[in-house]
Amino acid sequence: MRMVFCGRVNPITGSLDWIEEDENYDYHQEIARSSYADMLHDKDRNEKYYQGIRAAVKRVKERGDEAIVLDIGTGTGLLSMMAVTAGADYCYAIEVFKPMANAAEQIVKANGFGDKIKVINKHSTEVTVGPDGDMIKRANILITELFDTELIGEGALPSYEHAQHNLMQEHWEAVPHRATIYAQVVESHRLWSWNKLLPMQLDSGTIQPPPDMKSCPGAPSVCDVQLSQLKPDDFRPLSDILVVCRVDFSKQISSSTVSHIVNFTSLANGTAQVVLSWWDIDMDPEATIICSMKPSWLYPELYPVPWRDHWMQCVYFLPEETKVTQGEEVCLIAHQDDYCVWYNMTMPSAAHCHSAEIPACRCGAHIIWNRARFGELNDQSRMDKYKEALKKVLTPSSVCLCMSDGSLLPMLAHSVGASQVFTLESSSMAQQLMDKLLETNQLKETIHILQKSPDKITADDLGDRKVTALIGEPFFTTSLLPWHNLFFWYSRTALSEHLAKDCTVFPISASLNVLVVEFKDLWRIRSPCGNCEGFDVSIMDEMIKKSLDFRESQEAEPHPLWEYPCRALSDPTKLITFDFREKVPTEDIRAEGSLNLVRSGVCHGVVLWMAYELTEDISVSTGLLQVSDETGSCQWYPNRKQGVYFFSSLWNPGPTPTDSMSTVTYQLTFKPQLGDIRMSFIPKPEHSGSLNAPTDTICLH
């Protein structure tokens, strides 16, 4: 095994670390953290594909033809094995990602299909046909799973277009046979707050976004979410569910840009802001086998709703808000190129004159801030807490320095009375964005922007004044896991010589909190793949287990838990506190204890998050907000991701009721020099030998 050195920026310390890794490390991690397990456990998807493949093979055989299958993006080889089992004479399974192609080859051979399935490690556009080519002859059954949440975002259309021209016979069957894209126009303050910086109310007035941010069409990328987790009052429908377009995969596909015009009658008075979208695929020409991505609230009551994380639903933000009245005729235009979809609204008379130009950010905010960050900045109740806390610690004589990326705290600090305010911005683009915000709100001469790293700040930068209030949310764009924002602590330490002796540090401290949980569905993304529709795909488990031997794979994973329901099996517990009033210590900080399990259920893992003590009596949580006393269901802060560690028992399934497991013991070590938090969680059964799962040890970096 050849080892290589990889340079990585430590998000906590800000330093560049050189780490020795196996040369295939990234491949192992991509497989381990991909959605392969989720797809393999998607019973509805797999059953529908199997039914569609059997029907397609039958149609070809009934014509008296040999069934030759082309499977593009084979992944594990599952669909190819389905095809051969259904009676296909031969299958060409194409997989461009080499580690997955190797896995598919092993899985195919292990299941006894090595003589009928050829795995080709190429992009489909590079595959050749002929006596000396990759394929001996053209195929007459085209099977693909090239879809993403947006349907076409993985390049499905160019791949289809090329394959149909170059790799298929004159007439072919396709599985899936067709796809239908649906859309619904809605008004939604919650969703719109992910797209625009909205006016923020202060005691002294209102923080207004710059004009170019108001008119900016936003980021071109789709926002994919679990729409099923939206509450009924999170949006108001302004249209019926509309059929945007249908794509027939049994006919020649074009990847050229096209616009689909859909007229509708507005259902209510309101402001059109957002388009919700999803798709169905018909596995057969008669549309008797349908796999649907529609959200749960469109299913009949008590109907079992399939859960998927590899395919979700789409949220598209319209380039501008449009007022509509009930009964008004309106036109929705869906534009589609070879990789993405975007929407416009107009009057029916102007539909054919509308430009198909793809939206792109012109203001810079959508490049710097992600959707969740917009939501956090627009969270008025959260900002009110910061404002209330700042009132307690700032005075007109305060020399205030803000340490957070793209924060509104400098303006809050000024609004509550601080007359000297500085803010550090991490990049020139962030500086330009903040400059526009300050200019719009007539604060450019009052709040001073420093585009420097904390360790480069000089006395001249601060006008030879000592900082009397160092403030932060904290939030940094480089942070992925909740504790990565401890960069604030390291920055505070680097700035020590510029802080007054009695400097107020805000927040006072941060605490790392933990909760043992049972997930409703999220556990599926890390559960074993061993057997799927009768085929052994256990090599996937071996590859994922292998990846767990590597350092970084043992981290918790960031997930937005508002989208993934779970139940609390323990009480929320504060594990370790980081005191920002002091410098980062040189010695390790250790903590140990146990988490008592207070509810029955299946232990899938633990959730970790940070809470910040702004003042002695005001705190904010970036994780758990509330636990239901009756059911244990959890409410999570929606604008930050939480850290999730899945117990390794999921690799060896079998429900483990908590009545046989009284505690989960933990040990934590914060290593300041490395910027690491190392943890171990050990489930302790009430009676020896009653726990099926292995011990779980975690190293969080």
CA dist 88 and 296 (Å) reads 36
CA dist 345 and 319 (Å) reads 9
Asked if 634 contacts 627 with a C-beta cutoff of 8 angstroms, the reply is yes
- Answer yes or no: 357 catalytic: no
- The CA–CA distances, whole Å, from 415 to 241, 401, 442, 448, 505 equal 45, 14, 12, 15, 19
The DSSP output letter for 391 is: H
Closest-CA residue to 251 (of 325, 166, 160, 187) = 160
For 91-176, where are the alpha helices, taking DSSP H only?
A: 98-110, 156-166
Q: Parallel, antiparallel, or unpaired for β 205-207 and 223-225?
A: unpaired
In one-letter notation, the amino acid at residue 692 is: N
As given in the structure block, the two tokens for residue 512 are: 């790392």
Asked if 269 contacts 324 with a C-beta cutoff of 8 angstroms, the reply is yes
For 398-458, where are the alpha helices, taking DSSP H only?
A: 409-415, 428-440
Using H for helix, E for strand and C for coil, what is the string for 3-24? EEEEEEECCCCCCEEEEEEECC
CA dist 260 and 156 (Å) reads 18
660 SS3 class: helix
- Answer yes or no: 145 catalytic: yes
CA dist 377 and 88 (Å) reads 56
CA dist 428 and 126 (Å) reads 41
Closest-CA residue to 639 (of 410, 432, 381) = 381
CA dist 144 and 73 (Å) reads 6
Which class for 208: exposed (0-12), middle (13-18), buried (19 or more C-beta within 10 A)?
A: middle
Out of 95, 145, 150, 473, pick the active-site residue.
145
As given in the structure block, the two tokens for residue 548 are: 């767990």
Task: For residue 176, say if its preceding peptide bond is cis, omega within 30 degrees of 0.
Answer: yes
CA dist 196 and 215 (Å) reads 9
**CB neighbours of residue 415 within 10 Å:** 21
Asked if 72 contacts 146 with a C-beta cutoff of 8 angstroms, the reply is yes
Give the DSSP per-residue string, 221-250: S-EEE-GGGS-GGG-EE-S--EEEEEEETT
Out of 154, 320, 321, 328, pick the active-site residue.
154
Closest-CA residue to 357 (of 238, 532, 217, 235) = 217
Asked if 124 contacts 162 with a C-beta cutoff of 8 angstroms, the reply is yes
- The CA–CA distances, whole Å, from 96 to 4, 71, 332 equal 24, 12, 37
CA dist 41 and 363 (Å) reads 42
Sign of CA dihedral 439, 191, 485, 25: negative
As given in the structure block, the two tokens for residue 661 are: 């497991």
**CB neighbours of residue 41 within 10 Å:** 21
**Residue 288, φ and ψ in degrees, nearest 5:** -95, -15
Residues annotated as catalytic are 145, 154
